[in-house]
Structure 1
C-alpha cells in the first residue's frame, strides 16, 4: 500500500538490464557514447522533430532550471501556475540558474492556467519600465501538480497568449508520459506543434533510476544549454549510464506502456474511493495522482494499517480534527492487488 509518490517506485527490470549491459568495457564520455546516439535518434523519431537537440541530466530540477535558463534573462520573470513544481518544490533552482530571474504566479483551478488568467498576469508585468522585472518565458506543467492534464488544444491556447507577447514556452514534463497516455495525443502534438520550445521529458517517476531528457526544438539554443549544463555541474563524465536508462525507456514504447499502467491504477483507485462514504475527490483524475479528502480518523487508520501516502498540502496534519486531503500516487509498479488492499482496509475499518 505504498502510494507516497511514483518516484519511490523501483527501477524497471529492462532499465536495470540496460545499465548492466552498458557496464562493460570502455565508452567515450560526456555524451559521446554510441548509446546516446541511439537515444537522439529515437527521441527525434518519437517527437517527429529531426532537428531537435537532445540532452540528458539526472534530475527534474536540473532539467527545468537549465531549460528555463536558456529561455529567460536574469531581469525577466517566468510565468507559471502558483502550484507549479518550479514554484513549490525546487528550492529556488530556476531563479538560481537564471541568475536572479523571478517567477510570476498565475491562478487557475486544479493547478491549470487558463488563457485569461495567464494573459492578465503577463499584461500586468513589465509596465514599470526599467524599474520592474520584464516579461519572460511561460512554463506549463503537464501532468500538473494536482494530477490534471492539459490537452494539446489547451496548451496551444496558452502558447498563443505567450506568442502575443513574443515569449518562449517551456513544458515541465516530469510526468509527460502520463499526459500522453491520458490524452492519446502524439508527443509532437503535445509539444512543438502546440507551441512548446523546450521540454523537460521525465523518466525518474516512470521507471528510471535517475534520468531526464531536455528536448530543445530550436537547435539554435543548444550551444547555450551545453555551456550552462557544464557550468552548472550537470554534465556527466560517465554519461553512458544516463544514456542506457533513456535508451531502454524509449525502446519499443516502454515509456508509454509504464505510464498507461500507472494511469490505469490511478483510475481504479479513484473509482474505489469514490464509492466509499465520507470520501470525496478534490481534483479530477486525469492521470496517476489521486487527491482524496476524508476524515483524519480514516487517514490515521490507514497509516496504522501500513498505508504510505502524503497529506496535501504537506502542511496538513492527519492528527488534527476534521478532514484532510491525502495525495496518493500510483506508478508503473503498482498492482491491482495493491489498490484492492488499500480499498479493503478502508472498507473494513
Structure 2
C-alpha cells in the first residue's frame, strides 16, 4: 500500500489514450497541431490570454520560467524549504546562470509580504549586493498548505510595488484548486508565470509553463532549446497536457488524491504537523511506530527523526487510505 509520492502514481488512462491518438506523422518540435492548440486551450481555462510551452520536468518548468525574469546577477525570493531550494539539485543556479535564491521564512512553507520584506528591505541599492528580481511561491506548498486568493493578491501587490516578477510553482496546483473549490484563474491569481503540474496528477512526462505575459514565453522558447528541452516529438507532451485539462480531468484527479489524504488524516488528527489542505499528510511518528506501519504493508517516507510523510495520488485506493488512518489511530 504505497503512499510514497504522487510522482510514483500510474499514468491516467485518458492520458495514455491521448498519446496513442497523437501517433502518426506531424511536424517536429512544437510545430505540430497539438502543440499549436496549447495557447488557446489554456487561455480558455484561465479566462485570459496566456502562452504555454511544454517541458518534460517540473524542475525545468520552474527554472526556465524564472530564467526569463531574473538575470545572472539577480535574486529570487523563495521560502527556505521551497522545492527550488531543497529538491532541485542546484538547477536554479544552472538555468539562471548563478542567480541567487534569497531565502525567507513562513509557517507551512508559505510566504507572506512581511517575510518577503524582511529579506529584501535590508538590501542596499548598489552593485555590491544581489538585487531581487522575482518572487517564487508554491501552490500548494511543500507542506501541503494552500494559498488563499487574498494571500496571493497581497504578495502580487508587493511584487508590483517593487517591480519584481512573480512565479508560482504549481507542481500540485490542481490539488490547491480542488481544495479551494475555485477556478484555475482564481487559484493562480495575478502571477507572471505558472508551472502547471501534470506528472504528479496522472501525466507521464509533461509539464506546462503558463506565461501570463506572452513576452516571457518568447524569451523562454530560445532558452528551452538551449537547455535541451525542445523535444523532437513534442506532440506527445502536448497530448498529455490537453488531455489533462479536457473535461476537468486535472481537477477530478486532484479531488481523488485530496480525498485519500483526508482519509489518512481523519484518524490521526492529534499527530498532524500541518493542516491537510492538499494531498500530503505529515504525521508525528516514532521510529518504532513507523516500523509497525511498514510491517503492516504501508510504504511512505520518513520525515526527520520523529515524523513521516504520506502522499496520496489520483489512483490511491480510498479503502487503503482509510485503513492507514485506522492503523495510525491504533498506534
TM-score class, shorter: over 0.9
Instruction: Choose the corresponding residue for 1:197, options 192, 196, 201.
Output: 192
Give the superposition deviation at 1:344: 4.2
2:16 pairs with 1:20:
no
In the alignment, the residues of structure 2 paired with residue 220 and residue 347 of structure 1 have an alpha-carbon distance, to the nearest angstrom, of 52
2:240 paired residue number: 245
2:250 paired residue number: 255
2:199 pairs with 1:183:
no
In the alignment, the residues of structure 2 paired with residue 142 and residue 35 of structure 1 have an alpha-carbon distance, to the nearest angstrom, of 27
1:11 paired residue number: 11
Instruction: Choose the corresponding residue for 1:307, options 295, 298, 304.
Output: 298
Residues 63-100 of structure 1: CA deviation (Å, up to 9, x unaligned): 00000100101111100011100000001111111111
2:43 paired residue number: 44
Does the 8 Å CA contact 1:261/1:331 hold for their aligned counterparts? Answer: yes
Residues 132-159 of structure 1: CA deviation (Å, up to 9, x unaligned): 1112100010110001000111011111
Instruction: Choose the corresponding residue for 2:94, options 80, 96, 102.
Output: 96
In the alignment, the residues of structure 2 paired with residue 82 and residue 342 of structure 1 have an alpha-carbon distance, to the nearest angstrom, of 31
In the alignment, the residues of structure 2 paired with residue 99 and residue 345 of structure 1 have an alpha-carbon distance, to the nearest angstrom, of 48
Give the superposition deviation at 1:188: 1.6
Give the superposition deviation at 1:336: 1.5
2:156 paired residue number: 159
In the alignment, the residues of structure 2 paired with residue 340 and residue 103 of structure 1 have an alpha-carbon distance, to the nearest angstrom, of 40
Q: SS at the partner of 2:147?
A: coil
CA spacing shift, 1:336–1:75, aligned 2, 3 Å = same
CA spacing shift, 1:307–1:119, aligned 2, 3 Å = same
Residues 204-223 of structure 1: CA deviation (Å, up to 9, x unaligned): 00000011000111112222
Residues 198-248 of structure 1: CA deviation (Å, up to 9, x unaligned): 110000000000110001111122221000000000101100110111111
Give the superposition deviation at 1:335: 1.7
Instruction: Choose the corresponding residue for 2:137, options 124, 136, 140.
Output: 140
Q: SS at the partner of 1:26?
A: coil
TM-score (norm. length: structure 2):
0.97
What pairs with 1:70-89 in structure 2 (closer than 5 Å)?
70-89=68-87
Q: SS at the partner of 1:250?
A: helix
What pairs with 1:270-281 in structure 2 (closer than 5 Å)?
270-274=265-269, 280-281=271-272
Q: How many correspondences in the alignment?
A: 331
Residues 151-191 of structure 1: CA deviation (Å, up to 9, x unaligned): 11101111111222111100000000011101122222233
Q: SS at the partner of 2:310?
A: strand
Q: Give 5+ residue unaligned stretches, structure 1.
A: 318-323
Give the superposition deviation at 1:128: 6.0
In the alignment, the residues of structure 2 paired with residue 343 and residue 105 of structure 1 have an alpha-carbon distance, to the nearest angstrom, of 35
Q: SS at the partner of 1:252?
A: helix
Q: Give 5+ residue unaligned stretches, structure 2.
A: none
Q: SS at the partner of 2:247?
A: coil
What root-mean-square deviation, in Å, do the aligned CA atoms of Structure 1 and Structure 2 show?
1.3
Does the 8 Å CA contact 1:266/1:289 hold for their aligned counterparts? Answer: yes
Does the 8 Å CA contact 1:152/1:185 hold for their aligned counterparts? Answer: no
TM-score (norm. length: structure 1):
0.92
In the alignment, the residues of structure 1 paired with residue 192 and residue 328 of structure 2 have an alpha-carbon distance, to the nearest angstrom, of 45
1:67 paired residue number: 65
2:287 pairs with 1:296:
yes
Q: SS at the partner of 1:32?
A: coil
1:320 paired residue number: none
